[in-house]
Amino acid sequence: MLSQSRLLHSPLALATRHCAGAAVGTPTSLRATSLKLINAAQMRVSIQESTDYRRSGELARQVLQQLRQQDNPHTHFGFGLNLFHHGLQSATRALRNGENEELVVMALLHDVCEHTVPSGHGPAAALVLGPYLSEENRWILENHEIFQGYYYYELLGEDKNKRDAYRDSPYFDACVRFCELYDVPSFDPDYATEPLSTFEPMVHALFQRKPKQQGACSMME
């Protein structure tokens, strides 16, 4: 009969513990079980694994998976395309208009949070992508909802010019342009849209950029 110690260190037991912790190869002693008890070595492991998550491409894959979730009959919200195809069409228009990769990816993912954060999806997307974007593009993402409102707020009995509150921003005109050229017209089922595979390498390249700090502190390098 195996001793308790040998059972605890058997290949099966070790594999089970590694599976429970997601990444492989890190001893359980280096995994914090409470933030009240975390030590410097465990903190280094946390930062390293968060960084590896991004550098390995897993973060980009997860964001792309979030986009694929929108290829769903429930995300048309009354329009001619669901959110997934709306993103693809926005990105296709940006690509064909000669925009740089950063803007093309932004067009692809500008509504990537809309199926889970319908109101406030602009700021939500800005949190996801902002660390990898120029400040202008981050601002456009964050505020595009209210700029889009120019085209439909009146139908809701609201002021279509709410965006005018941002007239002093150096990014005002760029946000108007992004909406007008890429977001507004991209619900057309008859437009020949590129497949997601056209844009996947661009998404991966964006998330390989070293992220700018966002929030109180950065847990990723």
> Which member of 31, 63, 92, 111 binds Fe ion (CB under 5 A)?
111
x/- binding map, residues 115-144, to Fe ion, per CB under 5 A? Answer: ------------------------------
Closest to Fe ion by CB, 9 vs 96, is 96
Other residues' Cβ atoms within 10 Å of the Cβ of residue 108: 32
Q: Write the single-letter amino acid at 188.
A: D
Closest to Fe ion by CB, 45 vs 88, is 88
Both tokens of 125, joined, read: 């997307």
Distance (Å) of CA 87 to CA 35, 149, 187: 38, 18, 9
Part of the chain binding Fe ion (CB under 5 A), chosen from 3-11, 38-46, 63-71, 179-187? 179-187
| Closest C-alpha to 133, from 21, 200, 80, 211 | 211
Distance (Å) of CA 141 to CA 25, 37, 174: 38, 38, 11
Q: Write the single-letter amino acid at 21.
A: G
**CA pair distance 138, 41, nearest whole angstrom:** 34
Q: C-beta of 2: minimal distance to Fe ion in Å?
A: 58
Q: C-beta of 32: minimal distance to Fe ion in Å?
A: 37
**CA pair distance 108, 135, nearest whole angstrom:** 18
CB 80 within 8 A of CB 188: yes
Q: C-beta of 203: minimal distance to Fe ion in Å?
A: 17
**CA pair distance 66, 72, nearest whole angstrom:** 12
Closest to Fe ion by CB, 31 vs 144, is 144
Closest to Fe ion by CB, 111 vs 142, is 111
Closest to Fe ion by CB, 142 vs 183, is 183
Q: C-beta of 36: minimal distance to Fe ion in Å?
A: 40
Residue 183 in contact with Fe ion, rule: CB under 5 A = yes
Q: C-beta of 52: minimal distance to Fe ion in Å?
A: 31
Site size for Fe ion, by CB under 5 A?
A: 2
Q: Which residues bind Fe ion (CB under 5 A)?
A: 111, 183
